[in-house]
Chains A and B, each alone.
Chain A
Amino acid sequence: MGSNSLHVLKGINFTAESGELVAIMGSSGSGKSTLLNILGMLDEADSGEYTLDGVPIKNLNETKAAKYRNKFLGFVFQSFNLINYKSALENVALPLYYQRIPRKERQERAMKYLEQVGLKEWATHLPNELSGGQKQRVAIARAMAAEPKVLLADEPTGALDSTTSYEVMDLLQKINDLGNTILVVTHENDIAHMCKRIIYLKDGVIVKDEKVKQVRASEYV
């Protein structure tokens, strides 16, 4: 919005394969959130190409971007971003609602995902009746509900204590084990090492891109 433009990303080139669990690491200001927003079609790059599942993503109008986001992407935010006047179940069902899936089927599918994150009994609760970890699990269920190609997690553990963080990471690892592609932005080393690949960003460029031996979060839980 401001008149001063700032080049945050200065040449990023990488490919994530299907089924990968990638951590994007960097200190604040390194451009990791901007990268994630571009991948999430919330922001647009000034130049460059972005191909998602063989589809070139460019020149999107808002309607089209919304459709792609709904179909291809699931978001998990640091601050959970649940809609606080809707119950956990309704929150999970939201992406399906935008796909115009009938109410009954929508609720059944949402319930399935809630069960997967272990919150079936909490389905009718409002977000403010849930703990932070539970909220993030609802958010993960919501992100998974539309069966997206890629799950984008922006500091998913940023607002959680370490025990709960590991629980959430354990959940993400399990989802990844099922074959889902996940990108996690984090600045915490231990969280990054729970992924299979770490991309280090610094001042808008990739300084290191390495595969790591995954640390299972379940060891800490």
Chain B
Amino acid sequence: MFNRDRWNEILEVLTSNWFRTALTAFGVFWGILILIILLAAGKGLENGIRADFGDIATNTMFMWSRNTTKAYMGLPKGRRYNYKLDDVQAIKDNVPNLRFVSPRNRLGGFQGANNVTRGIKTGAFAVYGDYPEIINQDPMTITSGRFLNQSDINEKRKIAIIGEGVKLSLYDKGEEVIGTYIKIQGVNFMVIGTYKKKSNNGDGEEGMKEIYIPFTTFSQAFNRADNVGWMAITANDGSSITAVKDKIISIVKQNRKIHPDDKRAVGYFDLYEQYNRVESLFGAMGFIAYFVGILVLLSGVIGVSNIMLIVVKERTKEIGIRRALGEDPWSIKLQIVMESIFLTIISGMAGISFGALFIYGINAVLEANGPIDMFLNPSVGLEVVVAALAILVISGLLAGFIPAQSAIKVRPIDALRTE
């Protein structure tokens, strides 16, 4: 196969009619280019949507309380109830494969009144009472100091971790933050850390105007007893939260004396389910890209096959001579298949390179003009390029196969008679 004469011959044949070879090559070039661009566009959309999910642990559900809609055990319908800390314990004890069960409470928030003051500066921020695990479920980067830990919970320390956005409105530029005090609804908290959240679709700004304090401190300072506002529950990797969702809900229903058939008393949002829905959308997009791309490529490949048939026809006499001189029919077959594969691969490589250049250009334009909603960093992975090459080799093989067969089907004596 790696034989100088054979390659000489391949080049000889393909360069003998430049224009025709180029036109044929264009079909394959175009096909693979379309495939690459479609896949890159799909990837760009996927990246954009994934960025919207941010760093949040996606195998997570959120659960909050609503009014009951059914009377049960002597309790009326329309009753307002609260989750308690023992619900959290009950879930942890009875449901396997859970990684984190974080009870949360909140004060203030979006469009709330000013609730935090420091000296003469005030601001309206969302204040969360949390357990240390929350940093794994709603990831943030600690920019100075530290995050909550278990001793803070146990000792009900009056400490706070503030976002960079909070720091911006309560502190002067360059002012030392750690160790200072802020007043949340009249209660003093010492700031022990600052954090930053990754921007996800513009929510990052809002996400950095939050204050985290220990859950236990929150309950005591703001008079929540053992009430829990809502929970963020994350399942272990490898098992889905969707699968244990019903079990969790039935446990809290039992604990809170809610009718088992009351479908509206427990509010929840299954992030994993949403995420999976989007995931399957990505899958479908990938499928469409491959489907369309390969069909376009196929028409190019048929072009190659067609030209190879013509080349074989033109060379019938030559093939006859070579067979009279004693060339093995397999060698002739191999020659034609190699010509076809060579042509497909060369033009395919050109298509892949051009596609890469195109993607590079798009990225440069995106970078220069700022981000577009739901579209980010279109790209194709190495595995796509490898797959494309494999497709090329296989299609080259298929394109060469029929012409090669027809080349050796003609008897040498008939081939020699051809003028």
Give A residues with C-beta under 8 Å from B: 1, 37, 40, 42-43, 62-63, 66-71, 73, 75, 77, 81-83, 85, 94-95, 97-99, 103, 142, 146
Interface: B86 (CB within 8 A): no
Provide 19 A-B residue pairs closer than 8 Å at the C-beta atoms, listed in order of the A residue.
A1-B414, A42-B413, A62-B408, A63-B328, A66-B326, A67-B326, A69-B324, A69-B326, A70-B325, A70-B326, A75-B324, A81-B416, A85-B16, A94-B322, A95-B325, A95-B326, A98-B331, A99-B326, A146-B326
Contact string against A for B residues 375-419, beta-carbon threshold 8 Å, 1 for contact and 0 otherwise: 000000000000000000000000000000000100111101000
Interface: B5 (CB within 8 A): yes
Kindly identify which residue among B321, B323, B328, B330 contacts A83, using a CB–CB cutoff of 8 Å: B321
Residues of B within 8 A of A83 (CB): 318, 321-322
Given A75-B324, A83-B318, decide whether A43 and B329 contact each other with a Cβ distance below 8 A: no
Q: Are the CB atoms of B317 and A81 closer together than 8 Å? A: yes
Interface: B121 (CB within 8 A): no
Interface: B327 (CB within 8 A): yes
Interface: B173 (CB within 8 A): no
Given A85-B12, A85-B16, decide whether A42 and B324 contact each other with a Cβ distance below 8 A: yes
Closest 5 CB pairs of A and B: A70-B326, A42-B413, A69-B326, A81-B321, A62-B329
Contact string against A for B residues 218-234, beta-carbon threshold 8 Å, 1 for contact and 0 otherwise: 00000000000000000
Residues of B within 8 A of A63 (CB): 328-330
Q: Are the CB atoms of B329 and A66 closer together than 8 Å? A: yes
Closest to B414 in A: A1
Kindly identify which residue among B12, B324, B411 contacts A40, using a CB–CB cutoff of 8 Å: B324
- Which has the most chain A C-beta neighbours within 10 Å: B12, B330, B416? B416
Q: Are the CB atoms of A66 and B416 closer together than 8 Å? A: no
Q: Are the CB atoms of B412 and A42 closer together than 8 Å? A: yes
* Count of interface residues, chain B, beta-carbon cutoff 8 Å: 23
Given A1-B414, A62-B408, A103-B5, decide whether A69 and B329 contact each other with a Cβ distance below 8 A: no
Closest to B4 in A: A103
Rounded to whole angstroms, the CA-CA distance of A142 and B328 in the bound complex is 17
Closest to A1 in B: B414
Residues of A within 8 A of B327 (CB): 66, 70, 94, 98
Closest to B315 in A: A83
Closest to B419 in A: A79
Say how far B26's CB is from chain A's closest CB, in angstroms: 24
Given A37-B413, A103-B5, decide whether A94 and B324 contact each other with a Cβ distance below 8 A: no
Say how far A40's CB is from chain B's closest CB, in angstroms: 7
Closest to B329 in A: A62
Among B102-159, those with CB < 8 Å from A are: none
Rounded to whole angstroms, the CA-CA distance of A158 and B348 in the bound complex is 49
Among B313-356, those with CB < 8 Å from A are: 317-318, 321-331
Closest to B324 in A: A75
Residues of B within 8 A of A99 (CB): 326
Rounded to whole angstroms, the CA-CA distance of A103 and B5 in the bound complex is 9
